[in-house]
Amino acid sequence: MSTRRGTALVTGASSGIGAAYAGRLAGLGWDTVLVARRAERLDDLAARLRARTATSVETLVADLSEPDGLERVTRRAAGDDIAFLLNNAGINGYGPFATLEPALLAKVVSVNVLAVTALARTVVPGMLERGHGTLVNVASQLAFAGGLPPRPLPERAVYGGTKGYVVTFTRTLAAELAGSPLRVQVLCPGLTATEFHRSRGEAPVPGREQAVHEDGGMPVDRVVDASLAALETERVVCVPGLRDAAPVARLAEAELAVRTAAREGAG
C-alpha cells in the first residue's frame, strides 16, 4: 500500500513474531519503531524494511525489565504518531519454581506484565483522543494450561501466570473500550518456530542470524496472518490454528457460571 498508516511500535522486534509482524506492518504502509535488546539485529531488520518498503524505520535498543529501558520506550510510545502497539516482548523463565533465581522471576514479571501494562496505558489515552488505534498484546496458549503437569509442557508457573494476566487484562480492557474506535486483541500463539525456547530470558540468544528452537512449531507468518485476520473481524481473543471460536465462547460461559455460583448459593 502506498498510503502511510501512521507509526507502529513493536517490542521484541529482533526475532520471531515481533520481526515478522514488523515486516508485515511495514509492507502495509506502517512506519515502525523497532524495540529489542539486540542492536545489531534491529539494525539489520531496519535496513531490510527500509529497502523493501521505503517506510520510516526507527530502532530503540532497550531492556524492558530495566526501569530506564522501560521509561525510554514509554516516552517514545507517548508520541502522537503511534497508532499501533504490538506488545510482543516476553521471556519465559522456565524451570522448577522452587529453584529458579528470584532475579530471573522478577525479570519475567517485569517484561511480561509491567511493561505490557505500562505501554498499553501510555498509548490508549492518545489513541482515544485521536479517534483510532490498535493494541495487540501477545500472550500464549500456555495461559490456558494452568493445571496440566510439565513434560511435555515446560515448568512454567510464573510464565503461565504472566500470560494468564495478559489474557485477562486484554479481554477486560477490550470490554471497557467496547464502542470506542480502538481495536484490542490478545494474540495467543502455541508453539511457534522461533528461538524463544533457546533462552530463559536472562540474556538474548547471541548472534545476528535468527534461529529456531529444536521443537519447531507453527511458522511465524501464519501467526501474523491469524492476528491480522482477527483484527479485521474485531475478534479480541486470537488463537492461531483454532478454526472454531466455540471454545473461547465456552470459556466465557464457564467464567460466568463461576462468577454467579456464590450469588446462587446464597439464595
171 vs 195, more confident = 171
- The answer to the question of residue 165 being in a domain is yes
pLDDT classification of 48: cutoffs 50, 70, 90: very high
247 vs 262, more confident = 247
pLDDT classification of 2: cutoffs 50, 70, 90: very low
Q: Which residue in the block uniquely carries the three cell numbers 523493501?
A: 52
The residue segments making up the domain with residue 17 are 7-265
Q: What's the rounded mean pLDDT across residues 54-65?
A: 97
Domain count, the chain: 1
Q: What's the rounded mean pLDDT across residues 187-209?
A: 88
Q: What is the pLDDT of residues 84-107, one digit of tens each?
A: 999 999 999 999 999 999 999 999
Q: What is the dihedral of CA 12, 13, 16, 18, to 10 degrees?
A: 80
Q: What's the rounded mean pLDDT across residues 129-157?
A: 95
Q: What pLDDT was estimated at residue 204?
A: 84
Instruction: Compute the distance between CA of residue 151 and CA of residue 92 in angstroms, rounded to an integer.
Output: 16
Q: What's the rounded mean pLDDT across residues 119-141?
A: 98
CB 142 within 8 A of CB 153: yes
- The answer to the question of residue 1 being in a domain is no
Q: Residue 1 pLDDT > 60, yes or no?
A: no
- The answer to the question of residue 236 being in a domain is yes
Is 165 labeled as catalytic in the residue annotation? no
206 by Cβ neighbours in 10 Å (0-12 / 13-18 / 19+) ranks as exposed
For residue 51, give the CATH number of its domain. Answer: 3.40.50.720
CB 5 within 8 A of CB 200: no
Cα 66 to its chain centre, rounded Å, is: 18
Alpha helix segments (H runs only) across 8-115 = 16-27, 39-53, 67-77, 102-109
CB 194 within 8 A of CB 19: no
pTM of the model: 0.95
Instruction: List the catalytic residue out of 21, 94, 159, 165.
Output: 159
Q: Which residue in the block uniquely carries the three cell numbers 518456530?
A: 193
Q: What's the rounded mean pLDDT across residues 43-71?
A: 97
Which set of grid coordinates corresponds to residue 74? 514509554
Q: What is the pLDDT of residues 146-173, one digit of tens each?
A: 999 998 899 999 999 999 999 999 999 9
Q: What pLDDT was estimated at residue 267?
A: 61
- The answer to the question of residue 196 being in a domain is yes
Instruction: Compute the distance between CA of residue 163 and CA of residue 92 in angstroms, rounded to an integer.
Output: 10
- The answer to the question of residue 169 being in a domain is yes
Q: What pLDDT was estimated at residue 4?
A: 57
- Name the strand (E) or helix (H) holding 174: helix 157-176
- The answer to the question of residue 2 being in a domain is no
Question: How crowded is residue 249: how many other Cβ atoms within 10 Å of its Cβ?
Answer: 11
Q: Which residue in the block uniquely carries the three cell numbers 502455541?
A: 190
- The answer to the question of residue 143 being in a domain is yes
- The answer to the question of residue 127 being in a domain is yes
Q: What is the dihedral of CA 216, 220, 226, 229, to 10 degrees?
A: -170
